[in-house]
Amino acid sequence: MQENKLTTNLQGISSSYDKLIFNEQGKDTNEAMDDKDRQGKYINALNTIRELLTKNDTAELIHSIDDDQAKKIVKKKILDYLKHEELNVEGFSDPTKLAEELYKDITGLSFLEKYLERDDVEEIDGNAWDDIEIITLKGWEKIEDKFQSKHHAIDIVRKMVELGGKNLNNKTPQVDSFLGTGLRISAAISPIVDEEVGIIFSIRKQRMKVFSREDFMEIGTCQEEEYDLIKCLLSNGMSIGIGGETNSGKTAFMQSILYDIAKEGKDRICTMEEDTREISLIYKDQDKKKTISRVIHTKTRPSEDEKRNVSPDDILKLLLRFNPNIIAPAEMRGKEAMTAQESARTGHAVITSFHAEDVTGGYFRMLTMCMMSGTNLSEDLLLGLLVRAFPFMVIIEQLPDRTRKVTKIFEATGYEAREKKIKGRLLYQYKVMGKEVDETGRITKIIGKHEKVHHITDKTAAKLFNKGVGIDTIRRFAGEAWSRESVELQKVMDDFIFE
């Protein structure tokens, strides 16, 4: 019982020094007191070094999670602090060894480290201290690894949260934290979750790799023609909304399209993200000396102080002054949608994402966000404007087998106010045809296919032609029967028909 109590007081620390203390049996009272004294000195050194690192070396501490050079710097800092503060612990005659153990206890993430280092792991989810699963591009799986105890789990996750400048304790039992290395952490402890569960958490990794067109073909996210159409539309001035649920792959897909455009160095692209930056579109030549892309990356700065707060809407209005060809608010959640749709109707191509389950839901989601701006426009008028601003809607879904698919690409042609319906045509869809299950009934594979349903409208084809897109490319999307005469006819229609 005494051993368990001491282990609990250490909050799960599991260094080699713990073994030195607890693994020896049959000690008398004096020896136990000496051990307790040494343990106290170690914890004092640990707290002192952690405080100094947090105060003076935050950047290096954060980057040491996945940067070998930063690890070396932090370990050298620990050694310097030990000497400067004259800290020593019996059992560690070599200060370098003590510094190594302190480093492990300050930054060590137990078995989580090997999953954080794997490129294919997107997310690590803890349903309890002893129930962990990972998510990869191929789906989800439960892992055999688990923490030593609920206290150990809380301590490890708390370390990560604190590196992001947040606290996880009785006063704040629920927290969201971000580390500059590209890790988003959400966690909760008792009383929000049951005491025996210990902790629940979700660690989401920013994808360091930009997925290519070929990657999406290989994993079946979409077919070539779908990807190429979206890129063609965006690079020729037409705006696109991407709807999907959380973790459906919206940002990864959008980044891939934008990166392909950025590599060509023709269009000026401005991105906007909230709090943290996940999208990276900088492209350099082979020698890494000259920047080919024309990209500006920005992010918001939330603050309770109104004068210091920089909102998504503020950023979007700023970016309009930088002559962008393409504006990319990574994810819209509020009134910035009003500025985005105005930008899309005044000569800028806008690509953005938001939470929506289907095409109609996507337009009504944008409507809701626009209404947050306090506009006096009617809902019907605003929906009509949104259809003109974002004539294309892409829906991405994460299917029951955890694979991501572009399930719909829709071209809107108008809004019918009386029936409250979005008019248009479905261009492509993913058709589910069956499923495979394992012995437990869990769906292991969704069987389906991507299929083309309709060609793009003559109006869109005419716009592409007028932008200089080749006829062969246009016919790929508009059908082999499309001709230049369609452009002349469309000009006449535009003169007399107003939606």
Q: State residue 183's pLDDT score.
A: 78
Find out whether 351 and 254 touch, Cβ atoms under 8 Å.
yes
**In the chain, pLDDT over 70 holds for what percent of residues?**
86
Q: Quick one: which of 284, 260, 280, 261 has its CA closest to 271?
A: 280
Q: What is the mean pLDDT of residues 460-464?
A: 95
Q: State residue 35's pLDDT score.
A: 58
Burial (Cβ within 10 Å: 0-12, 13-18, ≥19) of residue 31: exposed
DSSP 336-351: HHHHHHHHHTTT-EEE
Judged by average pLDDT, the poorest of 33-47, 144-158, 267-281, 376-390 is 33-47
4, pLDDT greater than 60:
no
Q: What is the mean pLDDT of residues 36-62?
A: 77
Specify the DSSP class assigned to residue 325.
S
347, pLDDT greater than 90:
no
CA-to-CA separations, 366 to 222, 353, 354, 387, in angstroms, rounded: 24, 10, 8, 10
Q: What are phi and psi of 372, to 5 degrees?
A: -65, -15
Judged by average pLDDT, the poorest of 127-136, 157-166, 421-430 is 157-166
Q: State residue 109's pLDDT score.
A: 80
Cis-peptide into 324, omega within 30 deg: no
Judged by average pLDDT, the poorest of 51-65, 227-241, 391-405, 463-477 is 51-65
16, pLDDT greater than 80:
no
pLDDT digits (tens, 9 = 90+) for 89-141: 877 888 888 888 888 777 778 788 888 878 788 899 999 999 999 988 677 88
Class of domain 213-454: alpha beta
Q: What is the CATH number of domain 112-205?
A: 3.30.450.90
**In the chain, pLDDT over 90 holds for what percent of residues?**
52
Listed in sequence order, the residues at least 6 apart from 291 whose beta carbon sits closer than 8 Å to its beta carbon are 282, 283, 284
Q: What is the mean pLDDT of residues 222-227?
A: 97
Domain ranges of the chain: 2-107, 112-205, 213-454
Q: State residue 303's pLDDT score.
A: 74
Q: State residue 37's pLDDT score.
A: 67
Burial (Cβ within 10 Å: 0-12, 13-18, ≥19) of residue 113: middle
Burial (Cβ within 10 Å: 0-12, 13-18, ≥19) of residue 470: exposed
pLDDT digits (tens, 9 = 90+) for 431-442: 999 999 988 888
Q: State residue 388's pLDDT score.
A: 96
State both tokens at 260: 């392909």
State both tokens at 59: 């950047």
Q: What is the mean pLDDT of residues 260-266?
A: 96
Look over the chain and give the mean of its residue pLDDT values, rounded to a whole number.
Answer: 85
Judged by average pLDDT, the poorest of 87-101, 189-203, 252-266 is 87-101
**Other beta carbons within 10 Å of 160:** 23
Q: What is the mean pLDDT of residues 33-38?
A: 60
Q: State residue 38's pLDDT score.
A: 67
Output the pTM of the full model. 0.72
Q: What is the mean pLDDT of residues 227-239?
A: 98
- Nearest 10 degrees: Cα torsion 377, 381, 384, 389: -20
Q: State residue 398's pLDDT score.
A: 92
Q: What is the mean pLDDT of residues 163-187?
A: 83
Strands 139-142 and 131-136: antiparallel
Q: State residue 479's pLDDT score.
A: 94
Question: d(Cα 232, Cα 303) in Å, to the nearest integer?
Answer: 38
